[in-house]
Every structure is written in structure tokens, then in C-alpha cells.
Amino acid sequence: MATHLPTTSVADIVRLGPVIPVLAFETAEQGEHVSRALYAGGVKVLEITLRTAAGLDAIQRASRIAPDIAVGVGTITKPEQCALAKQAGAQFGVSPGLTREMHDASIEAGLPLLPGVMTPSDIILAMELGYEIVKFFPAVPAGGIAMLNAFHGPFPTLKFCPTGGITPESATNFLALPNVVCVGGSWLTPKAALAAQDWAEVTRLARAASELSRPVR
């Protein structure tokens, strides 16, 4: 069994790669194949969501692939999911939004959290709770690059991982922003490739994503 990375915070995790794939699997077996294919392409951070029943089992399998892989749980919408994900082997959590109850549950579970924000009020709550890196979701529908530029004025120290509607073509423009540390995306696992079990295609897309440039900060 692989030993988990000694990551202690979301800041450690987002430095591992410019793109965090957002994943939803039909089965745990599919999840393991895809996770291995992504890792073979140089992607070392995975966000496996709880949008399907296979999520927790897929997290457990993916966390055993290699000692330098960081597997997170995505789509946390209930506080109790933090402990369940931690038990399954998740090293961090990602949520579409944030409540104080969810924050407390993540601390109790020992699960570093990347909370979702969309508005200035969301951001102020996150900063009050001590977050320095947040997920901007849904990024493109909520204003995309223009909104992130607008946030930089009143919140100059806050860093973002925009997710939602980002493409391989737009990812570089997001990564060039001074307040963006990485992006989340689902384009690394197209439905056609998964249906055909074309793991080589997943690895190809992962390699291209892992080579995207981002400013050194």
C-alpha cells in the first residue's frame, strides 16, 4: 500500500500541478483505471467527487496508486461527508460552497478543505474562517476571468482555484492571473474516452494538462 504524501495543507496540494481533474465515476473499477491513466500522464492531484455512489470506493483505490499522489474528495455538501472521505483515504476536500458547520467538520476530521465561493460575501466568510485559498465556482458562469480580476482589488491576498466551464484553450488564460494558483477541469476525462475505455487518451490529455505553464509565485 502506498504511503500518503506528507501534505499538510491545501497550499501544499495545489502546488503539485496546474490542473486538478474533477472526476465522477460509474464504478470503482473505472475510477482506478482512470486514476492510473491520469497519474501516468503526470497528474498527481485528483478530485474524485461524491456525485456518484462509487465515489468513496474510487477514492480508496486511487489513494493506493502511488506515494506521491494526492487524492481529494469533491462535491462535499454535508458536514458528515468530511469524516467519511477521510476514512476512505482522501487527503483533502473540495466543496461547491461553505458553511461554518462544514468548516468545523473538516477540522474535526483532519481534512484540509478547499471551499467554494462565488460572491464577495462568500469570500468574506471564507477569510473570516482563515482560508487563504478557495475554489471559485462555477467559474465561467459566475464571471470567469473578469470576475477574478475584479476580486483581486478588494481581496489582494486571496488565491483561487477556478472550476466550472474551463477548457484546455482557456486554462492558460486563467493560470496567468496573479490570484490563480491552479484550475479545476473535467476535460481530461471525456465521456467518449471513458465509454471506450481508452485510457491512453486520458493519459495523453493528462500529459498536456500537466505541461500547462503557470507563473512562478
Point out the residues that are catalytic.
47, 135
Whats the size of the chain, residue-wise?
Answer: 217
Answer for the pair 9, 112: CB distance below 8 angstroms, yes or no.
Answer: yes
Task: Give one DSSP letter per residue of the chain, joined into a string.
Answer: -PPPP---SHHHHHTT-SEEEEE--SSHHHHHHHHHHHHHTT--EEEEESSSTTHHHHHHHHTTS-TT-EEEEE---STTHHHHHHHHT-SEEE-SS--HHHHHHHHHHT--EE-EE-SHHHHHHHHHTT-SEEEETTTTTTTHHHHHHHHHTT-TT-EEEEBSS--HHHHHHHHTSTTB--EEESTTS-HHHHHTT-HHHHHHHHHHHHT------
